[in-house]
Each structure stands twice: as C-alpha cells, then as structure tokens.
C-alpha cells in the first residue's frame, strides 16, 4: 500500500492529536505533510519534531518566531497566520487534508483544499453548516471526495457503502443526550460550566462539549447531514441514545434499517476516513455486547434544548440562516465558557441573532464572510 500523505489542520486539538495517534501506529502507511495549530505552540513544536512534516503553520502570529527558532535545526518550513493555512493548500503535496479546526475558521482552508483537488476528511462540521451548498458544488466540480469524520456522519457514510442504487427514506442521527439528558429548563437555569463540560461518553474539546450539552452539536450535524447526503428536513431524524453504541442509522425505502455500531471512540471514524475504501487492522478496543445488554432510545426534548429546533429551522429556511446560527453560537459558547452568560442564554442569544441579522436567500462566499462578521458584531452587542 502506497503511503498516504496527510495534512492535519488543527493538529493540537482533540481530533488532531487522535489522528496523530493513528499516524504513529501506522508509520509505514501514513506520512504527515502539514501540521497547523491555532496558538498551542509548544504542542505543535513537539508534534513537528516527532513527525517531521514539510510545513508547519501557527495561526497566532505572535508565536511565529518561537516556533521558527524551536525548529531551526529541522528541515521544516514554518509559516504563521490564518491566511498561511489557506495558502498551504496550494503548496502541499498532501493527498488528503483532515480539517479539524474549530468552528468557522475551517471554512476557507477547506475551500482552498477542494480547489486544489485534495481529498477531504471533514471533522469541521461548521464548514458545511455555514456554506454547505457552496462546498458540495465545489466538490462536484473538482471531483473531490469528502469523507465525514464526525462519528454520526461516518456511520451513515459506512451504511451507504454499496447502496448507490437504493433509495434512502431517512437517516437517524443518534445523540447521547449529553450531561443534562432528561432535565427541564427549570433544572438548567443555574448549571455551571464544570457541569456542562462533563460529557458522559465522549472526550472532546470545550466548545464541542458545550454544544453537545445544549444539543447544538446535534443541530449542526442535522444541517451537515443535509449537505453530505442530499437530504431534506423530512429525511433527517434525531434520537437520543444514551449508550452511544449505535452511532447512526439509515432507513431504506423497503423499511430496512442499517446501523453502524462501536465503542464511543473518535479514532474509529478518523481511521476509517484515512484508509477508505479499505478497512485496515487496528488495535482499538472492541465492543462486547455482554457489557451493553440494554440499548435505549428516546425522543429529544426540543422545548428544553431549543438549539436543536433552531437548527432544524435554519436548515429548512436555507440561505445564510445556518451561517448566522453558527456564528452566534460560537460567540454564545465562548461567553458561557467565560462566565458572561448562563447556559440557557446560549439558545436565547442564537435565536435573537437569527431574527436580527440580515437574511440572504442565495448567498455568495463573500455574503457568508460578511454574515459571519455581522452576526459576531450583533451577538457581542446583545451580550
């Protein structure tokens, strides 16, 4: 098997570090070409010294000299700034780009990677939430494969392999329910940041963990599923599955349902994306049904967890509304993590921005960029 050359955008985050674990376990199959980080210079340097990529980018320009000096004795080119991450997609010889940057920041580098015909392993769901129509069109024009890394979308993708000629009735995204499953709004009025960051099943970064607690993460996944699989609102269901063993399901037109199952471990979908269409041997822990003799399912509570309802509305209306929702949510979650607002105010701020920011039915890339900026400004004023 020829070595795969991989660029990892966001190598110091949760997805990026797990991706490097897979590269570490498969040195004969994976070569790391590019590593990028936002501001964690120390970890980026350590990764670069271990994996010896051709290029390293630190988005925080204040840390450029430190990174450059630390790697001075290595044959590694060092760049800085978010624009350099985009430019790297034109320079690198990588076959695949893992986009694991957090939030809106992943959009432009992903577009540039697609334009340069790099296969995409997509762990940045916001890219499709913000500009799904644009991204899917670019992938088609450039004949670029987009392989989802979210556990739910990877599950659907896996269920659809070999089903090209068959009709999907609907997909069923599973949600753990997060740390506040079963709670009502009155129970959540005074929950703390520490409580919201205690996910029962998954180990993730702070932003996605808060999104999971508010069900915004599932809302973003609903919108992502629309674009990944060419679905409409009526074809995307969400079911709360606390054990997180079934990662998602597909129901076909004959009534059959296929489910992809496994332990809650993000290395599984990353590993699958890296080696697709092959399944390579791994040493990951295996699911034993004797440890899970009961799997349960519940309807999500859309009244308490308003973010999921807002996401369905944004998907249904289209235009730049999902872009507004995403930008507002990024501001709201950051405010919650810095103790500026309470947990339930995240959804309140999101809804206010959706009602206040200018709606555009057929946005261009420039419109998406301007919408993101306008929403962040409005959100900041509303805080």
**pLDDT tens per residue across all 383 residues of the chain:** 689 999 999 999 999 999 999 999 999 999 999 999 999 999 999 999 999 999 999 999 999 999 999 999 999 999 999 999 999 999 999 999 999 997 778 889 999 999 999 999 999 888 898 889 999 999 999 999 999 999 999 999 999 999 999 999 999 999 999 899 999 999 999 999 899 998 777 667 788 899 999 999 999 999 999 999 999 989 999 999 999 999 999 999 999 999 999 999 999 999 999 999 999 999 999 999 999 989 999 999 999 999 999 999 999 999 999 999 999 999 999 999 999 999 999 999 999 999 999 999 999 999 999 999 999 999 999 99
Cα separation, 227 vs 196, in Å, equals 29
Cα separation, 336 vs 330, in Å, equals 10
**Per residue in 268-280, is it b (16+ CB within 10 Å) or e — as a string?**
bbbbbbbbbeeee
- Among residues 148, 170, 192, which one ends one of the domains? 148
55 and 143 both lie in a single domain = yes
176 and 240 both lie in a single domain = yes
- Whether 378 is in a domain gets the answer no
Tokens 């519940």: give the residue: 298
Domain range for 217 is: 153-317
- Whether 365 is in a domain gets the answer no
112 and 8 both lie in a single domain = yes
184 and 127 both lie in a single domain = no
Per-residue model confidence as pLDDT tens digits over 10-26: 999 999 999 999 999 99
pLDDT attached to residue 199: 79
- Whether 372 is in a domain gets the answer no
- Whether 32 is in a domain gets the answer yes
- The CATH code of the domain that includes 23 is 3.40.50.720
Tokens 């079911």: give the residue: 239
Residues 6+ apart with CB under 8 A from 281: none
In this structure, the number of other CB atoms found within 10 A of the CB of residue 292 comes to 13
pLDDT attached to residue 122: 95
67 and 164 both lie in a single domain = no
Q: Outline where the chain has alpha helix (H).
A: 14-25, 41-51, 64-70, 82-91, 107-115, 126-142, 151-160, 185-188, 193-196, 206-214, 216-229, 267-275, 306-317, 321-337, 345-356, 365-382
pLDDT attached to residue 201: 74
142 and 184 both lie in a single domain = no
135 and 202 both lie in a single domain = no
- Would you tell me the crossing angle of helices 216-229 and 345-356 to the nearest 10 degrees? 50
Q: How many separate domains does the chain show?
A: 2
pTM: 0.91
- Among residues 96, 122, 148, which one ends one of the domains? 148
In this structure, the number of other CB atoms found within 10 A of the CB of residue 283 comes to 6
93 and 183 both lie in a single domain = no
137 and 171 both lie in a single domain = no
58 and 130 both lie in a single domain = yes
pLDDT attached to residue 130: 85
- Whether 337 is in a domain gets the answer no
Per-residue model confidence as pLDDT tens digits over 181-202: 999 999 999 999 899 998 777 6
pLDDT attached to residue 219: 95
98 and 247 both lie in a single domain = no
- Would you tell me the crossing angle of helices 216-229 and 321-337 to the nearest 10 degrees? 150
- Whether 242 is in a domain gets the answer yes
- Whether 351 is in a domain gets the answer no
- Whether 53 is in a domain gets the answer yes
**Two tokens at 110?**
């992903």
186 and 265 both lie in a single domain = yes
Contact 115, 138 (CB under 8 A): yes
String of DSSP letters for 37-89: ESS-HHHHHHHHHHH--SEEEES-GGGHHHHHHHTTTSS-EEEESHHHHHHHH
Q: What is the CA radius of gyration of the chain?
A: 20
- Among residues 268, 287, 317, which one ends one of the domains? 317
- In the chain, what is the straight-line distance between the N-terminal and C-terminal CA atoms, in Å? 53
């Amino acid at each position: 098997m020829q070595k795969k050359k991989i660029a990892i955008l966001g190598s110091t985050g949760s997805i990026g570090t797990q991706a490097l674990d897979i590269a570490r376990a498969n040195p004969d199959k994976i070569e790391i070409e590019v590593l990028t980080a936002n501001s964690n210079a120390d970890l980026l340097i350590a990764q670069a010294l271990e994996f010896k990529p051709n290029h390293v980018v630190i988005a925080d320009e204040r840390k450029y000299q430190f990174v450059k000096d630390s790697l001075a004795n290595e044959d590694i080119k060092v760049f800085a700034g978010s624009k350099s991450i985009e430019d790297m997609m034109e320079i690198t010889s990588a076959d695949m780009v893992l986009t694991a940057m957090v939030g809106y920041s992943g959009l432009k580098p992903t577009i540039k990677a697609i334009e340069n015909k790099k296969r995409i392993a997509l762990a940045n769901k916001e890219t499709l939430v913000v500009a799904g129509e644009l991204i899917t069109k670019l992938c088609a024009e450039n004949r670029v494969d987009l392989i989802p890394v979210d556990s739910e979308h990877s599950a659907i993708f896996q269920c659809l392999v070999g089903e090209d000629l068959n009709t999907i009735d609907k997909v069923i995204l599973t949600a753990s329910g997060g740390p506040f499953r079963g709670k009502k709004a009155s129970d959540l009025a005074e929950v703390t940041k520490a409580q919201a960051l205690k996910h029962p099943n998954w180990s993730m970064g702070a932003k996605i963990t808060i999104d999971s607690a508010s069900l915004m993460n599932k809302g973003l996944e609903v919108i992502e599923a629309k674009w990944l699989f060419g679905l409409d609102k009526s074809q995307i269901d969400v079911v709360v599955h606390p054990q997180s063993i079934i990662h998602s399901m597909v129901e076909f037109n004959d009534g059959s349902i296929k489910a992809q199952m496994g332990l809650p471990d993000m290395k599984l979908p990353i590993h699958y994306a890296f080696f697709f269409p092959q399944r390579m041997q791994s040493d990951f822990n295996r699911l034993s049904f004797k440890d899970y003799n009961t799997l349960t399912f519940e309807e999500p509570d859309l009244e308490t967890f308003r973010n999921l309802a807002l996401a369905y509305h944004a998907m249904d209306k289209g235009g730049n509304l999902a872009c507004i929702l995403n930008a507002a949510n990024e501001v709201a979650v950051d405010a919650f993590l810095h103790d500026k607002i309470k947990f339930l105010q995240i959804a309140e701020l999101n809804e206010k921005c959706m009602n206040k920011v200018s709606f555009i039915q057929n946005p261009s890339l420039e419109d998406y960029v301007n919408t993101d900026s306008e929403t962040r400004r409005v959100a900041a004023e509303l805080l």
